[in-house]
């Protein structure tokens, strides 16, 4: 993975998020945006989020509505994810 704080050959030392990409749940393919690894997720509804970290570890986290989950994420799985509303990947 490239440095998530690098942007167009310049170091993004602020860690500012450049976009929020809607996530379509998928058990078999990375899905947080083309060539992106998310630095987190924003969820609209409460429930569980099942995801794969950039290092390949699967996690399940229970979250309330309107919550920012901060962790490197490359895939949000449909199996085990029960949050309602749209999930948004925070990409830098």
pLDDT in tens, 25-46: 999 999 987 777 789 999 999 9
Local confidence band at 91 (pLDDT 50, 70, 90 cut-offs):
confident
Domain membership flag for residue 15: yes
Domain limits at 18? Answer: 6-91
Q: Which of 20, 19, 59 is nearest to 42 (CA)?
A: 20
Tell me, what's the pLDDT at 35? 73
Query: Does the pLDDT of residue 66 top 60, yes or no?
Result: yes
Higher-pLDDT residue of 77 and 13 is 77
Domain membership flag for residue 33: yes
- The torsion angle over the Cα atoms of residues 39, 18, 68 and 43, rounded to 10 degrees, is -110
Query: Does the pLDDT of residue 48 top 80, yes or no?
Result: yes
Domain membership flag for residue 1: no
Q: State how many domains the chain has.
A: 1
Enter the pTM of the model. Answer: 0.81
Rg for the chain, CA atoms, rounded = 13
């Amino acid at each position: 993975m490239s440095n998530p704080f690098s942007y167009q050959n310049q170091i993004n030392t602020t860690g500012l998020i450049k976009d929020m990409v809607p996530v379509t749940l998928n058990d078999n393919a990375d899905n947080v945006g083309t060539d992106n690894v998310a630095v987190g997720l924003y969820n609209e509804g409460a429930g569980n989020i099942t995801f794969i970290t950039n290092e390949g570890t699967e996690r399940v986290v229970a979250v309330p509505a309107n919550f920012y989950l901060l962790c490197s994420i490359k895939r949000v799985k449909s199996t085990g994810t029960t949050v309602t509303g749209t999930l948004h990947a925070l990409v830098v």
